[in-house]
Structure 1
């Protein structure tokens, strides 16, 4: 009887290996050979599941997005019913920031993908759609006439804080204090928490 193969599990194994290589050595180190070695499989198996490096990268980015979505969903569920818009945004953004070792690896991979898509715009299609949806959601929570611009600014603050956290310029406490200060500007005062 032929062995039953879980193709999704193999793709995930390979994507996890890609993320470890990218987090440890940067995207420039990502190759079929390096990813195969990290996953403990043959380069041929990697090529069977991902014909190109771009396909491999897109799948790994989807994995990072999925992990981020799970973190956000779990954090928001802990808020209970009817949290204030300010608390909702703070909780969501804090869940997306690389504030600890667990989220730092995903943050490094996400940052590397952003750099990758800067020179390969076609690879950024999913990111553009995600960003537009996130900006729209945030704008809907902001009590401002310039909600779209303010949402774009809040996303830029979030990305900047992420870069500073990954580079070690900010501690988690400093990043959260900066986020709170920006939310104070948008909402007027911290009394809405």
Structure 2
């Protein structure tokens, strides 16, 4: 009796191969044939699961977003339930930083997508997986902290979140570029959070 194929697992396997190429050689090296070679399958298999390169590329963005979500949830679960706003930001921003080989590879893949989208609109990140949703969610978290008096009333939650995400993404680039190490990047994030959340008690 022929072995049943787990189609979802096969798609994940192919997507992982795509992301390995993106993180090591950039999106310019990605093709259906290269993904097949990296995954150890025939080109026909890749074409069966992904109708074209665009569909394949979108699967990579979706998987990167899912990996970040899993990383955040795992870190939050390790701490406990009912996390205070300050801890929520520590968990989320800390999950964005490349703290190990897996998260470093993911950030290199994100950077490859971002760089490709700057020069080729066809390679731009699909809006469904843009960081807008994360920005909106964190803004809600910070707004509730403002309402609860945990940060000064004059703070603009959206502006603060935009700045924190921009700071963290900038630190990602500096870590990937070996300008600074992860510990230094974490200290910078902690310093900024101290100034935001510590100011309420001053």
TM-score (norm 1): 0.88
Partner of 2:89: 89
- What stretches of structure 1 of length at least 5 have no aligned partner? none
Shift in Å, 1:105? 0.7
What are the equivalent positions in structure 2 for 1:94-105 lying under 5 Å apart? 94-105=94-105
Q: d(CA) in 2 for partners of 1:87 and 1:41?
A: 43
1:138–1:151 Cα contact (<8 Å) kept: yes
**Equivalent-residue separation in structure 2 for 1:26 and 1:65 (angstroms):** 18
Q: Structure 1 residue runs of 4+, over 6 Å off?
A: none
Contact (CA 8 Å) 2:113, 2:125: kept in 1 or not? Answer: no
Q: Which secondary structure does the structure 1 equivalent of 2:79 belong to?
A: coil
The farther-off stretch of 145-154 and 112-121 is 112-121
* Residues 190 and 175 (structure 1), Cα distance of their counterparts in 2 relative to 1, 3 Å cut: farther
2:166 corresponds to: 156
Within-5 A mapping of 1:111-190: 111-118=111-118, 119-120=120-121, 123-128=125-130, 131-142=131-142, 143=146, 144-188=154-198
1:96-149 deviation digits (Å, cap 9, x = unpaired): 211111211111111112223333276421233xx2221122122323541111
SS of the residue 1:99 aligns to: coil
Q: Give the length in aligned residue pairs.
A: 190
Structure 2 unpaired stretches of 5+: 147-153
Provide the aligned C-alpha RMSD in A: 2.2
TM-score (structure 2 length as normaliser): 0.85
Cα displacement (A) at 1:49? 1.3
C-alpha deviations, 1:47-91, integer Å up to 9, x for none?
A: 121122111111122112111111100111122233321122012
